[in-house]
Structure 1
Amino acid sequence: MPHGTRADLFVVGAATDAGTGLFLVPAEQATRHGYRTYDGGHAAALTLALTPATPLGTPGTDHTSMIDRVTAHALVAQCRETIGAMDSALRITTDHLRSRRQFGVALSTFQDLRFRDRWRPGEHLQRALRKHWRLLCGASACSWLLPFVTGPSS
């Protein structure tokens, strides 16, 4: 759970007779094991066995389709963050190669270190992300988020 060591409440899904239910669990009722994430952030593994919880919404409602939609949107947002990191890494590397000098010349002049303008994996991923976001949203209310999630159109 991202930032799970800092949360006061958790929204969790659990199997019920009707399908998947959503429940609110106070953090002090859960067992948390904090850890560092690959990017230096914080997360927690939760243990919820026999943990008291309050149902969200109408008890007995199957929330599976809503959970699927929210999960898909969260994955698209995470992809956008990854694309941003890739674009930043490429920009930082390119700037370094242009400004760093060795043997009296910029590193970018060495043939083995030149970047082609066409080598932009972030742009390819961004186009794929834009396509998948449109499939998720269609003409729904979340379509207005497209420019914020995928960046400017090419």
Structure 2
Amino acid sequence: MDFEFSEEQRLLKESLNGLFAETYNFEQRKKYMKEKGGWSKLVWQKLAEQGLLGLPFAESDGGVGAGAVETMIVMEALGRALVLEPYLPTVVICGGFLRHGGSVAQKAAHVPSIIDGSRTFAFAQLERSSRYDLYDIATSAKKRGNGWVIDGEKLLVINGQNADTLVVTARSKGAQRDKTGVGVFLVPTNANGIGKKTYLTQDGLQAADITFTGVEVSADAAIGDSENGVLLIERVIDEARAALCAEAVGAMDESLKITVEYLKTRTQFGVLIGSFQSLQHRAAEMFVALEQARSMSMFATMATNFVDAASRAQAVAAAKVQIGRSGKVIGQQSIQLHGGIGMTMEARIGHYFKRLTMIESTLGDIGYHIQRVNEIGALV
């Protein structure tokens, strides 16, 4: 199988590296974190101007019509630069719901504003008792006249403070853990009855806990089948997991480079610490972990196009397991090799470690995905 990038894909990678080299050094990133919403509107517009926000959308919807490989390239670059902007929630996740389940009218109403950067989205899924279960949903969506009324609470909504529109999973019928009776709804964040509590996550992103109290939305707010949205949710979330794998590879790659450079320049008792064989062995172990993660990220990217949903889910789960393991090896060794300075806010490496730690637990940690691999394998 040919794993070489095409000429267009190589140009995409080069343009991203150039863009972030100009706009996203460590000092600039710290400034962006202090802006409203915790990210730079100027950088977001630059992403829009270069067509990056429209990459996965069909040409008929105003996008580029690119595929999963292009998304992988973008996410690796975002991870390498520790980009704060909400590409994952807006383009990959919420854009994914529109691409795979949205009606012609919904796409026309929302996709152009994603592509031109004028609006951002957030995915509201997690609840107090749900952990990683996509179907454990207590938030309700009840029919009222020609529309819907949404009640409930969602936690840890990334970009929830700044988003213009929320994509919300809610139960239209059935018991809390049923796999049927689940729908996906578009909810404007300025709707009456929405409350927000915002805070910073460990990796510097901004999140919000959001309450819905009698929030009324129109009949066309439902994306796809309002009672059978599980297959749509699973597909989009598997694509998001593959994108997270790619982001982690970018962060791991940069972490290794930073650490190796530190070993080459840091002296102790008049000797370069990189000259010690034991530390060279650690760096070699980090490299092996990175390459294992990279290969599984590619596998997950290809798996998002699998026709069989079970095969796709198993492949992505296996990739998430390896990404989590490699992230721990590289993240922890990076901190160890830097010493105490690695855990300070002034050191870049500590921020990569935090992001890798958060990626491991996002949309399922190592233990959860090991269980998924085993369960799916037993059914196949």
CA distance in 2, matches of 1:5, 1:77: 22
CA distance in 2, matches of 1:56, 1:9: 13
Aligned partners of 2:184 and 2:224 also within 8 Å: no
Amino acid at match of 1:26: P
Amino acid at match of 1:135: A
CA displacement 1:115-154 (0-9 Å, x = unmatched): 4535421211221222233222137xxxxxxxxxxxxxxx
Which residue of the partner structure matches residue 145 of structure 1?
none
Amino acid at match of 2:196: R
Count of paired positions:
139
SS of 1:34's equivalent in the other structure is strand
Which ranges in structure 1 are unaligned for 5 or more consecutive residues? 140-154
Query: Residue 28 of structure 1 is aligned with which of 178, 187, 190?
Result: 190
Amino acid at match of 1:125: A
Length-normalised TM-score, structure 2: 0.34
Which residue of the partner structure matches residue 19 of structure 1?
181
How far did residue 102 of structure 1 move? 2.6
Query: Residue 255 of structure 2 is aligned with which of 73, 89, 92?
Result: 89
Length-normalised TM-score, structure 1: 0.77
Which ranges in structure 2 are unaligned for 5 or more consecutive residues? 1-156, 174-179, 308-380
Which residue of the partner structure matches residue 117 of structure 1?
284
How far did residue 108 of structure 1 move? 0.3
Which residue of the partner structure matches residue 296 of structure 2?
128
Which residue of the partner structure matches residue 16 of structure 2?
none
More helix by share: 2
Please state if 1:52 is matched with 2:216: yes
- Please give the root-mean-square deviation of Cα atoms over the aligned residues, in Å: 2.2
Question: For the pair shown, which has the larger CA radius of gyration, 1 or 2?
Answer: 1
CA distance in 2, matches of 1:138, 1:22: 23
Amino acid at match of 1:128: M
SS of 1:6's equivalent in the other structure is coil
Amino acid at match of 1:95: E
Which residue of the partner structure matches residue 63 of structure 2?
none
Overall identity of the aligned pairs, in %:
31
SS of 1:23's equivalent in the other structure is strand
Higher normalized contact order (CA 8 Å, seq sep 6+, divided by chain length): 1
